Amino acid sequence: MTEKHGGSDLRANITVARPVGRRGPGETYLVNGHKWFASVPMADCFLTVAQTEGGVSCLFIPRRRADGSLNGITVKRLKDKLGNRANASSEIEYHDAEAVLVGEEGRGVRTILLSAEYTRLDFAVGSAGLMRAALSQALHHNDHRTAFGAPLAQLPIQAPVLADLVLEWAGAAHLGFRVARAEDAHDDVSERLVSRLLTPVAKFWNCRRVAGVTEEVIQSIGGNAYIEEHDCPRYYREAPLNAIWEGTSNMMVMDVGRVLAREPKAVEPVIDEIRPAADEHPLLAAALAEIEELVADPEDTARYLVTRIALATQAALLVREAPTVVAEAFIASRLGGGWGPGYGTLRGLDFPAIIDYGRLG
């Protein structure tokens, strides 16, 4: 999708596709142009978008033509990336690359974004997984290293940091898997709406939070986690990527706005799911009331609204699925005042119990 002038505004793409004979879905086109980002360039086939007479269209491009010869795809350069080095990313050019039109001409963005719904879910769940991997390192180190006469995990200034990281991971994991469940139940109208709304919400929020978690984990382990022999530098370099590819944070926020404009009912099953927990927790009830007010005019409050939907959904899921101590700490910190902006500013909570939940996870 992404060309030199940008990856967000796909309608501005300049790569072109011309029909060899007849035009339309399943027909053969020749593609000419470039892509500034093309990951996994060794793949056997690609989905790409290009301009046709009908507008931006989606095309399937195999590595080899029907006669077995290599298709017109040239890898100009591999990207030298901050992280994510196990995955090759490249700049490519198409020179009369043989392709097949997928879907109607002019419907390319919508068609290619059907696959993005799954990859966006991948990054929401994957960010929770990255948090989990980092958290496991933090808990192991802090349980086994002693300073000032006690394991680090028991020290009064360190325990709130670890507990806060557990809350962050728990919220991310529950949100990610809730969306996955909705995706699995796509035939159910209500679940389809949940997945349509919460996929960009979860992609936005989990991917935003993971970079901070990996940094705080390094801090909680200390110097050893900054050394390349440790797993943490890799997690740290990988983390910011999830918020960029398959749509940046702002693109997710715009997508939520699009859902609320086109399918305003999508928010209803999400609100219905939050309400039972909100009835028991005044802070969550206040957040829910605010969401109901803001969805009427999402433009002005876009990032704030998406953040509130994410936090309220996470809180409701934890009320339902996690120990009370975890859910209440999450609500008090994320929806109450006096928390943040960094990790470890929680006060007056049962830190050992919260950390224990992270150990079991």
Ligand X SMILES: Cc1cc2nc3c(=O)[nH]c(=O)nc-3n(C[C@H](O)[C@H](O)[C@H](O)COP(=O)(O)OP(=O)(O)OC[C@H]3O[C@@H](n4cnc5c(N)ncnc54)[C@H](O)[C@@H]3O)c2cc1C
Question: Could you say whether residue 81 binds ligand X (CB under 6 A)?
Answer: yes
- Closest approach of Cβ 259 to ligand X, in Å? 16
Binding mask 136-175 for ligand X (x = CB under 6 A): ----------------------------------------
Site size toward ligand X (CB under 6 A) is 18
**Would you say 124 or 315 has its CB closer to ligand X?**
124
Binding mask 15-54 for ligand X (x = CB under 6 A): ----------------------xxx---------------
**Would you say 119 or 190 has its CB closer to ligand X?**
119
Binding mask 236-255 for ligand X (x = CB under 6 A): -----x--xx-xx-xx----
**Would you say 224 or 250 has its CB closer to ligand X?**
250
- Closest approach of Cβ 241 to ligand X, in Å? 6
Instruction: Give the residue nearest to ligand X (CB).
Output: 7
**Would you say 286 or 302 has its CB closer to ligand X?**
302
Residue from 15, 89, 242, 314 in contact with ligand X (CB under 6 A): 89
3-class SS string, the chain: CCECCECCCHHHCCCEEEECCCCCCCCEEEEEEEEEEEECCCCCEEEEEEEECCEEEEEEEECECCCCCECCEEEEEECCCCCCCCCCEEEEEEEEEEEEEECCCCCHHHHHHHHHHHHHHHHHHHHHHHHHHHHHHHHHHHHHCEECCEEHHHCCCCHHHHHHHHHHHHHHHHHHHHHHHHHHCCCCHHHHHHHHHHHHHHHHHHHHHHHHHHHHHHHHHCHHHHCCCCCHHHHHHHHHHHHCCCCCHHHHHHHHHHHHHHCHHHHHHHHHHHHHHHHHCHHHHHHHHHHHHHCCCHHHHHHHHHHHHHHHHHHHHHHHHCCHHHHHHHHHHHHCCCCCCCCCCCCCCCHHHHHHHHHHC
Question: Could you say whether residue 84 binds ligand X (CB under 6 A)?
Answer: yes
- Closest approach of Cβ 83 to ligand X, in Å? 8
**Would you say 230 or 237 has its CB closer to ligand X?**
237
Where along the sequence are the contacts to ligand X (CB under 6 A)?
1-2, 6-8, 37-39, 81, 84, 89, 241, 244-245, 247-248, 250-251
